[in-house]
Amino acid sequence: MSKLDTEHATGSARPSAVVPGLDPAWLRDNCQCADCRDPVSGQRLISITNQAREVTLTDVLEASDGLHVTFGPDGHRAVFTRSWLAGQQTAVVDERSEDAKRLWSAADFRAGPVTAWQAYQSDHEARLGCLRELLSSGFMLLRGVPPQPGAVLDVVSSLGYVRETNYGRLFDVRVEATPANLAFTGLPIGPHTDNPYRDPVPTLQLLHCLANAADGGESGLLDGFRAAGLLRAEDPAAFSCLTHTPVTFCYADATTELRATWPMIGLNSRGRIREIRYNSRSMQPVRPSYGTPAEQAAAEMHEFYRAYRAFAAILLRPELTLRFNLAPGDCVVFDNTRILHSRTGFAATGHRRLQGCYADIDGAESTVAVLSRARQRGPGQG
């Protein structure tokens, strides 16, 4: 009963074949009319359970304003514009996965993606460019943030919301007498992600330098997605092992006891790299999988350690780590699900003080999306 091809079919940019490519139930559930979607919120008003088990198309008419459809058995009528339909034909890119990122090595950042705090605050384009860098490269570096306690909270409120934890809304990174965490010593700390013992893990970390008169304490960042991709290319069995083996990370002190279990390399449902959890300090002994006989457990552990060592060796390749010294007023912001950070050792007597803060990257994504809208509307309308 389709009237397709009777009108406007010739010469249209989208051939009529687009209709055979659509499932009626999908089309019905995605009706954009005011009865099916709330005009203010854009939220769906209908439920799949209110629709017939077998939705059909009883009439289809291709007109200049789009596809006019009548559904069976409910008789509902809908119009789908060509541009809307065209937008549904491509696969969704998982914006958090390797597929949506600019993967990098240290040499890609000769100049360094540095933005002045003043420009970031006053210039819409500067802020948008800087935040886009955070999403695509996984980090951004602000310079000139007043080196005063608490200023890191001004940075976080420019891009999202603080993730408060047992460490507080913000925390000091400086040498302590009896540190509950090795971060609060002068020891070198190899590449790691923060708080893998937390679930959900904080997806953004901010580190703001208030003072740095210590020798050493050089900071390093590396792209964990790039490193995991290298492991996949060079040693697929090791990559597979690290994406499947659950690892428990733990942190405990007098008032807190956190524990989370995930593979070191997390994939999305399409098998693409999406999250790195890597921290030798808080990693607990890996256990055999369910029902493994004791005699196989050692072989399983041997394979895990081979894979872990292969990944660890990649993470130490000098060409992967971007090295820099944080100067007072510098604030680095990075994606804690992707970027591993490290620091070289420093003399515990030298004055080095950072303030850190956790936040979430969905807030930064929202900020970028809203700033991008303002740009689409043009200057003066932002």
Q: Hey, is 313 helix, strand or coil?
A: helix
Q: Tell me the pairing of strands 189-192 and 339-343.
A: antiparallel
- 95 vs 125, which CB is nearer to a copy of itself? 95
Number of residues that bind a copy of itself (CB under 8 A): 103
Span from 23-31, 66-74, 142-150, 207-215 in contact with a copy of itself (CB under 8 A): 23-31
Using alpha carbons, select from 41, 13, 48 the residue that is nearest to residue 27: 48
Binding mask 40-79 for a copy of itself (x = CB under 8 A): xxxxxxxxxx---x--------------------------
**345 forms part of the interface with a copy of itself (CB under 8 A):** no
- 36 vs 151, which CB is nearer to a copy of itself? 36
Question: Hey, CA dihedral for 322, 328, 334, 340, is it positive or negative?
Answer: positive
Using alpha carbons, select from 161, 157, 159, 184 the residue that is nearest to residue 173: 184
Chain-centre distance for alpha carbon 181: 25
| Count of Cβ atoms closer than 10 Å to residue 341 Cβ | 21
User: Which position among 33, 312, 347, 350 is part of the footprint of a copy of itself (CB under 8 A)?
Assistant: 312
**148 forms part of the interface with a copy of itself (CB under 8 A):** no
Span from 6-14, 25-33, 209-217, 328-336 in contact with a copy of itself (CB under 8 A): 25-33
**325 forms part of the interface with a copy of itself (CB under 8 A):** no
Least distance to a copy of itself, CB of residue 376, Å? 12
Angstrom distance (rounded) from CA 334 to CA 144:
17
Least distance to a copy of itself, CB of residue 329, Å? 26
**291 forms part of the interface with a copy of itself (CB under 8 A):** yes
Q: Hey, is 361 helix, strand or coil?
A: helix
Site for a copy of itself in 79-138 (CB under 8 A): 88-92, 94-96
Span from 66-74, 182-190, 223-231, 323-331 in contact with a copy of itself (CB under 8 A): 182-190
Side chain identity, residue 168:
G
Site for a copy of itself in 252-281 (CB under 8 A): 252-253, 255-263, 268-270, 280-281
**376 forms part of the interface with a copy of itself (CB under 8 A):** no
Chain-centre distance for alpha carbon 120: 22
Angstrom distance (rounded) from CA 38 to CA 364:
27
| Count of Cβ atoms closer than 10 Å to residue 144 Cβ | 18
Cβ(221)–Cβ(370) under 8 Å?
A: no
Span from 5-13, 17-25, 64-72, 147-155 in contact with a copy of itself (CB under 8 A): 17-25
Beta bridge partners of 324: 219
**141 forms part of the interface with a copy of itself (CB under 8 A):** no
User: Which position among 10, 11, 21, 111 is part of the footprint of a copy of itself (CB under 8 A)?
Assistant: 21
Angstrom distance (rounded) from CA 327 to CA 239:
37
User: Which position among 56, 70, 158, 292 is part of the footprint of a copy of itself (CB under 8 A)?
Assistant: 292
Q: How far apart are the first and last CA of the chain?
A: 48
Question: Hey, CA dihedral for 21, 25, 30, 31, is it positive or negative?
Answer: positive
Site for a copy of itself in 153-172 (CB under 8 A): 161-166
Site for a copy of itself in 195-234 (CB under 8 A): 198-201, 203
